[in-house]
A and B are shown apart, each in its own frame.
Chain A
Amino acid sequence: MHAKRERRTAYAMLLPLLFVLLSLIAYPLYSSISLSLTDHRVGSTSTKFIGLQNYAELIQWSLFHDALVNSLLYVVFALTLKTILGLTLAMVIESLGKPKFIFRALILLPWVLPDAISALSWRWIFDPSYSVLNWILNRFGIESISWLGDVGWARFAIITVNIWRGVPFFALIFSAGLVTIPNELYEAADVDGARGYTKFLKITIPHMIPPFNTLLLFSMTRTVAEFNIVRVLTGGGPFNKTHLLGTLAYHIGLSGAQLGKGAAVSLFLFPVLLIATIFSIRSILKERGF
């Protein structure tokens, strides 16, 4: 009797959440898939089922190839550099004495601020005519670079801004991991006469692995699904060469009004998401006691 009542309460309290999950996540995902099998256009009244035609067209489309390659480059470079720089920054901060808190708070700012707005400042930093970076380069006798006008440099700029936003977060997670390493381990290693890099490899790195695994999966899903930075910084240009899946989906789905095809583009994010979920789910749920 009691258990039955408790069950009823439990379900009742879950109802609003269930409604949100179904109407804002599950149904849209389903709708995205069915939309991708049609030639639906914004504002059109007649929509035809066309099977996998959208996908077939995408696979042969060079803009789509570029977006896939960009996504791969973006994820690989951004994650690698965020890891290296994040760990370095964490170790620097942990090696300082007292003012740790204020530095932690300061470095976290790029992550806290709205990224579409801070990307605007970056766009000005990379401005074609008045880039402050070019001003500095010129001082050293180096010619100006067309940061956002050249495909290679534009990719570089996008990755730089992603790193700028993400490094603080990586550093904080690593920092939390570093604090948990018992000092005795390093002291014992000192007694054995271990060198700095040996201690780093044998003590620091192994302790960083567990938080790093989760961090990597999370960051991968967010990085591959990036929209704001690319949209504000390059808008996908020059010549639509810096699109990621998200901005390309926007470009053809909304700007180009081909909603069905746009849905097909964004669905290519799904496998990445699925992999991340599958790999992180076990440890995460266990951590929360389920």
Chain B
Amino acid sequence: MGYKFRKRVRGRIVSYILLFAFLLFLLFPIYWMIITSLKQNKELYNFEMNPLLVTQGITLRHYSYLFERTNFMVWMRNSIIICLTVIVFTIVVSSLAAYSLSRLRFKGRWTMALAVFAAYLVPPTLLFIPLYRIVVLLDLPDTILGLIVTYPSFTVPFSTWLLIGYFRNIPSSLEESALVDGATRLQVLWRIVLPVALPGVATVTIFSFTLSWAQFLFPSAFISSSIKKPLAVGVVSELIRGDIFHWGSLMAGASLGIIPVLLIYVFFSRFFIRGIMAGSLKG
């Protein structure tokens, strides 16, 4: 009894020590980003002071620099426009397709599902060069529209794949009576299936948002003027001038750049965790 008890206590202590080490590793960069953005330059670039804390008083100068001296608000607005448009397009295309693939019987259904899954595995890294060429051919380089038309290459396959899983779990008996009453498939999808699959639609929305918000390669490749850049690329490319890093405002931009994702995560972390279990992998 005494031995077992001691062993369990020891196990607990080891668990908590490990947990603490993991949390330190996983959360430190986020803490570091925020604390850096609040320090004055004289403290930031002084190796004598303890860098882990703000000791010389907090400043918001780096934030005001962002708003007054850079196109930060424009990048933010660009990102929001891109994300919203891509989300709407993605939901429409993928819910139609997922319904068709999970409910209707037709020839080529298996091949199509296979194509969706294979497309889901194709990373943007493999596509950006030919897509750049397509964007040029469409006369869309250096435009926001050029990003909006290419982002579905990673949101649509993934969303369709995820929604197939959700639609599958809805019993088709719900729809049958409506179909007997003469409803069309489109009406059934809109009025019966989507409302029931709302958690799935929410998950797809959230993931499409975070994926689009985080997309870095396409805008790096297709966009050159500052005022067309989405936030992630704007912060990374415009605040580093030559060899000069404005670390205070870089971290201020980074901190503001993660806030929308953070907010969504705080309210919907349930969907993230469930979405991952449902097979939305990116590892």
Contacts and interface: CB of A to CB of B under 8 A. Distances in A.
Cβ-closest 3 pairs across A and B:
A219-B283, A114-B214, A17-B97
B235 A25 contact: no
A31 B128 contact: no
Nearest to B29: A121
B121 interface: yes
12 contacts: A7-B107, A9-B184, A14-B96, A24-B127, A89-B22, A96-B15, A109-B30, A121-B32, A166-B283, A170-B283, A249-B128, A269-B126
Nearest to B211: A114
A223 B51 CA distance: 32
B257 A114 contact: yes
Residue among B122, B127, B258 having the largest count of chain A Cβ atoms under 10 Å: B122
Contacts of B105: 3, 6-7, 10
B132 A259 contact: yes
A14 B30 contact: no
Interface string B252-271: 00100110011001000100
Nearest to A254: B221
Interface residues of B, number: 99
Contact of A25 (B109, B119, B236, B277): B119
Interface in A107-155: 107-110, 112-118, 120-122, 124-125, 127, 129-130, 132, 135
Contacts of A259: 129, 132-133
A273 B113 contact: no
B130 A114 contact: no
Contacts of A54: none
A28 B104 CA distance: 29
A95 B109 CA distance: 44
Interface stretch (B58-66, B148-156, B170-178): B148-156
Interface in A238-290: 245-246, 249-250, 253-254, 259, 262-263, 266-267, 269-270, 273, 276-277, 281, 284-285, 287-290
A192 B15 CA distance: 25
A118 B281 CA distance: 19
B114 interface: yes
A122 B269 CA distance: 24
A16 B97 contact: yes
Interface of A: 3, 6-7, 9-11, 13-14, 16-18, 20-21, 23-25, 27-29, 31-32, 35, 82, 85, 88-89, 92-93, 95-96, 103-110, 112-118, 120-122, 124-125, 127, 129-130, 132, 135, 164, 166-170, 172-173, 176, 214-215, 218-219, 221-223, 225-228, 231-232, 245-246, 249-250, 253-254, 259, 262-263, 266-267, 269-270, 273, 276-277, 281, 284-285, 287-290
B11 interface: yes
B117 A21 contact: no
Interface in B1-34: 11-12, 15, 18-19, 22-23, 25-30, 32-33
Contacts of A276: 121
Contacts of B110: 285, 290
B148 to A, nearest CB: 12
A112 to B, nearest CB: 5
Interface of B is mostly: helix
Contacts of B185: 6, 9, 13
A32 B128 CA distance: 9
A258 to B, nearest CB: 10
A128 to B, nearest CB: 10
Contacts of B101: 14
A225 B123 contact: yes
Contacts of B112: 14, 17-18
A14 B272 contact: no
A106 B269 CA distance: 10
B220 interface: yes
B44 interface: yes
Given A13-B185, A20-B153, A113-B262, A121 B33 contact: yes
A183 B221 CA distance: 52
A259 B135 CA distance: 14
